[in-house]
Amino acid sequence: MKHINLSFAACGFLGIYHLGAASALCKHGKKLLKVVKAFAGASAGSLVASVLLTAPEKIEECSQFTYKFAEETRRQSFGAVTPGYDFMARLRSGMELILPFNAHELAQNRLHVSISNTETRENYLVSNFSSREDLIKVLLASSFVPIYAGLKPVEYKGQKWVDGGLTNSLPILPFGRTVTISPFSGRLDISPQDKGRLDLYVNITKQDIMILVNVKHFVGTRAVRNILPNHLTTKQTKPQLKKHPYHILLSKGRRNTTKTSHWNKDQNHLIIGTSYQYPAGSKS
């Protein structure tokens, strides 16, 4: 059989999609996994790739951690950027819990992690890990979104590194056939099959993503949840909405509404976030 690789795209909290794919492969694709020579990934994709390679029996445990991590982030006043909340420390705790003691040995020359150099702005695929700590640092670097995850990039081998998804969100290895996996529709082997789509694509850091007719669904539900694991509900009050950093106040109208995004037909642009429309006659 031809040399096969698996590559998981960068996708933030949508990494839960990768975990679902990994779980399905463990249950129904055992023959395929036996012939996979290398695993690759960027950001959340690299985390799932590392677990599938070094500790496939912990996929479910990893899923539970992801749910709790997302819930914890949602509870923060300003999400991951809430002062005092250490997003990266929480992520590291999950790695420490799930990765086996010999993870670096299992990953040596088989796991290819996409990271971005802050000085040269170039992409690097790291596949050599001298220790478990070395592997964890590279995975943290690949997941470090500037400002969102913190202000200080991850230091590795005397240099500073950030999210690999900024320069190469879907690594294609130069050898063999790379099977690509992403929660975004596009020219991919494993991805959601969205309805009502156009045959148009946009290339975002080396990943071809399909442009959907239903722009609201794509941006509001997936692109936003890439970094915001949830949205406000319609049960929240006006004062609560004002406290949320992503809410947008609209003109007065007949009823209250909250949504993650909507298309402004009059001004021909997309508003992303949570909107609030005041009842007619109310004070802003």
Task: List the catalytic residues.
Answer: 43, 163
10 Å Cβ neighbour count for 227? 17
Helix and strand totals (H; E) in the chain: 9, 13
Please state, in angstroms and rounded to a whole number, the distance separating the CA atoms of residues 154 and 41.
18
- Determine the residue type at 202: V
φ and ψ of 265, to 5 deg: -65, -35
Residue 233's CB is within 10 A of a number of other CB atoms, namely 9
Closest by CA to 133, choosing from 156, 151, 113, is: 156
Separation between Cα atoms, residue 106 and residue 64, nearest integer Å: 23
Separation of alpha carbons 243 and 25, rounded Å: 42
Q: How many CB atoms are closer than 10 A to CB 19? A: 23
**Distance from C-alpha of 119 to C-alpha of 138, rounded to nearest angstrom:** 17
The Cβ of residue 23 has, within 10 Å, a number of other Cβ atoms equal to 16
Distance in angstroms (rounded) separating the CA atoms of residues 66 and 71: 8
